[in-house]
Structure 1
């Protein structure tokens, strides 16, 4: 595998570039992350997944947002990363552990196609509702059905951590324009010390929920595994759905299961888009 080799894959339209930190000739600085993720001047993606060393798991992972910030966890990102590890010979095992800022998770390749991973299950860890651990500023032990005042409107919010922070708004109807307008206000509200991921959610049935996603550091997103996990946990917490449910997003569907210990299990497809090597001209800009 050449230096500066990359793979671009997507999970339900949520696309990431994957690279090996041991085989790159540049630093993953904020400026460089933004350039690589730019659709006009770089490769274009919703983020970068970087393979790093770990003493806690089989593999280490850094998840870099297109604005240059670093995420604790990403469900789609984890499945894409697991596919990369399996497809490119980093492991021959179909089950292995991955160390993230949001904790160690286990990934399992449960379906292959022509020797490549297609369907992957990820154990996302436990949902945490304790306000201080999300984190969210709240006078209550758990931030559920709490009023959040914004410029021009207000929402009842439900906050949870699945290794990264989430704010779930349950609605009767979903409008893309609405989350595009208020997503950034919620993400950057002073109530959330580390900013927050935002989901507008509509219960279709006890087994099906539809969601729209505003991702911290990335904005409007077609699909998100951690967002799906967070919404599923909130729905079960509030008694609105069964523990096994499907999350429907603009990019596609994920299967979620919340067990009695609030452990989250997520299953979905991943597909490779392209692979290649960064050009000498782009490297000149990155090395600078």
Structure 2
């Protein structure tokens, strides 16, 4: 039997398994079974809590050297390995704090190792803020075809540690008509695939110096989710890119599971993007691995 905790960030839900010494080797099939919403616990992914020194992806990366005791081993619902999860890392840190495995003093940050690098998390008014690090245009700007859209739409490739393609829609009706039970088709398809975000601007786009947009997402290896943290950041970055030089550096993004905040700010290695929002733990139990 394996102990687990179920948690979520704006409806993006995860099975959290503490494995500090890296003794648990979950197969892709076991991950998919745990995440199955009919025959398993049900989740968008697995967060394995492991010390950076106890997992090759942490020990070989700068995680331990940067003082990140803990590494977020994130797996998508289909069992595939993912680089990063913006909602997941907030839930991961919330679990660390509630379990007494880590602390965050006011004004301080907690470093967490991920396959996209070390991410620093701080406390915020709405829960937690994670510095997602530098971002960039990926150069992958495919045409995107999705059920419910009459014609393919151009997408903008954004890299925030994992790959995204953001698609602009004209109004709420188009956003509501999307059928995302099947993954959108990207042409050309990025080599590693991508999460795909569909976004509608708020009316007005900017209020009191803050940008406002609404978004739905189809996550690589998962399908449509109620929220995607890195997708929210990619969406705000894409809309700011389209809006031009006078666009704000602070955004709120509405997703089906709630609202998240995004902030862009300069750093020594280029512009960073930060994501803020809540995290909740729902229940704990034990499960038999099959």
Kindly tell me: are residues 190 and 156 of structure 1, through their superposed partners in 2, closer, same or farther at Cα, counting changes over 3 Å? Answer: closer
Could you say what secondary structure the match of 1:213 adopts?
strand
Secondary structure of 1:71's counterpart equals: coil
- The residue number in structure 2 matching 1:35 is 33
* Maintained 8 Å contact 1:59/1:98: yes
Q: 2:272 aligns with which of 257, 263, 288?
A: 263
Deviation at residue 253 of structure 1 after TM alignment? 0.2
Name the structure 2 match of 1:272: 281
Provide the residue aligned with 1:13 in structure 2. Answer: 11
- Pick one of 71, 79, 89 that aligns with 1:68: 79
Q: In structure 2, what is the Cα distance between the partners aligned to 1:147 and 1:31?
A: 32
Q: Does 1:128 align with 2:136?
A: yes
Distance change >3 Å, CA 30–CA 234, structure 1 → 2: same
Question: 1:178 maps to which residue?
Answer: 178
TM-score (norm 1): 0.83
**Equivalent residue for 2:250, pick from 244, 247, 268:** 244
- Alignment CA distance shift 1:253-1:184 (3 Å): same
**Post-superposition shift, 1:34?**
0.7
Q: CA deviation at 1:20?
A: 1.6
Q: Determine helix, strand or coil for the equivalent of 1:258.
A: strand
Match of 1:98 among 96, 112, 116: 112
1:54-203 paired onto structure 2 within 5 Å: 54=52, 55=59, 56=63, 57-94=68-105, 95-110=109-124, 119-131=127-139, 136=140, 143=141, 147-148=143-144, 153-173=151-171, 174-180=174-180, 183-186=183-186, 189-203=187-201
The answer (yes or no) to whether the contact 1:209–1:247 under 8 Å persists in 2 is yes
Query: 1:37 and 1:148, CA in 2 relative to 1: closer, same or farther beyond 3 A?
Result: closer
The 3-state SS of whatever aligns with 1:175 is helix
- Distance between the aligned counterparts of 1:267 and 1:245, measured in 2? 10
Question: 1:148 Cα shift?
Answer: 4.9
Out of 230, 234, 240, the position equivalent to 2:238 is 234
Q: Call closer, same or farther: CA 1:31–1:181 in 2, change over 3 Å.
A: closer
Counting matched residue pairs gives 259
4+ long deviations beyond 6 Å? 149-152
Contact 1:179 1:213 in 2 (8 A): no
- Give a deviation string over 1:75-116, Cα, whole Å, max 9, x none: 1001000100111011123421111111111011335xxxxx
Q: CA RMSD in A?
A: 2.2
Please report how far the alpha carbon of residue 183 of structure 1 lies from its aligned counterpart in structure 2 after TM superposition. 3.6
TM-score using structure 2 length? 0.82
Structure 1 unaligned spans of 5+: 112-117, 137-142
Indicate the SS of the match to 2:166: strand
1:11-62 CA-partner distances (Å, limit 9, x unpaired): 1111111112247875310110011011222111111001123242231111
**Aligned twin of 1:50:** 48
C-alpha change, 1:149 and 1:36, in structure 2 (3 Å) is closer
- 1:33–1:176 distance in 2 versus 1, CA, 3 Å: farther
